[in-house]
Amino acid sequence: MTNTYEGGFHGQGKRFAIVSARWNSFFSDQLLSGAIDTLVRHGVEKDDITVVRCPGCFELPMTAARVKRSLDVDAIICLGVLIRGATPHFDYIAAEATKGIGQLAMDGEIPLSFGVITCDSLDQAVERSGSKVGNKGVEAAMAALEMVNLYDALSG
């Protein structure tokens, strides 16, 4: 007999912060509404969702760090859209966002989910923010719900 821990997707009574980068807001607003809709559909009260906007993906980790310190939430969902341009900034910013958000989660206190889409083109951004391949904001919200329930299971 094995002991298995896994999380469900129950949002009742849980509090979430969503940190959303404003760059490419045409797409990132789609991720944001997908994430909010997913949380509400899983029982999270609208009053228990706090949206925090920051300028771009580079600012996601520092904003999430501040949110973690200042707000009493069960999880933080980070959303942003990076579109590869003609500069190397894309790779630098993607690396900073990934590393920073990951580091912030490593103490295992509250989960952080990663809803940053990295796209080579506007077409890909359209696909990943709500058309062909779904909405990555929805996936990030689902991951946050599951992780909150998993952490509950591990504490309880």
Closer residue to ligand RBF in complex, CB, 19/21: 21
What minimum distance in Å lies between the beta carbon of 129 and ligand RBF? 13
- On whether 58 is known to bind a ligand per the annotation, the reply is yes
| Residue 34: other Cβ atoms inside 10 A | 22
Q: What angle do CA 124, 127, 129 make, to 5 degrees?
A: 105
Q: How far is the CB of 94 from ligand RBF (least distance, A)?
A: 9
| Cα maximum dimension of the chain | 55
Q: Confirm whether residue 128 is marked as ligand binding.
A: yes
89 is catalytic: yes
Q: CA-to-CA distance for 99 and 89, rounded, in angstroms?
A: 15
Please state the closest distance from residue 116 (CB atom) to ligand RBF, in A. 8
CB 153 within 8 A of CB 147: no
Q: Per the residue annotation, which of 89, 103, 122, 131 is the catalytic one?
A: 89
Q: Which helix (H) or strand (E) holds 116?
A: strand 112-119
Looking at the Cβ atoms of 88 and 156, the one nearer to ligand RBF is 88
The residues binding ligand RBF (CB under 6 A) are 21, 23-24, 55-59, 80-83, 85, 87, 89, 93
Q: Cβ closer to ligand RBF: 39 or 81?
A: 81
| Closest approach of ligand RBF to the CB of residue 80, in Å | 5
CB atoms within 10 A of CB 100: 21
CA distance 80 to 87: 18
Task: List active site positions.
Answer: 89
Q: Which residues are annotated as a binding site for 5-amino-6-(D-ribitylamino)uracil?
A: 23, 57-59, 81-83, 114
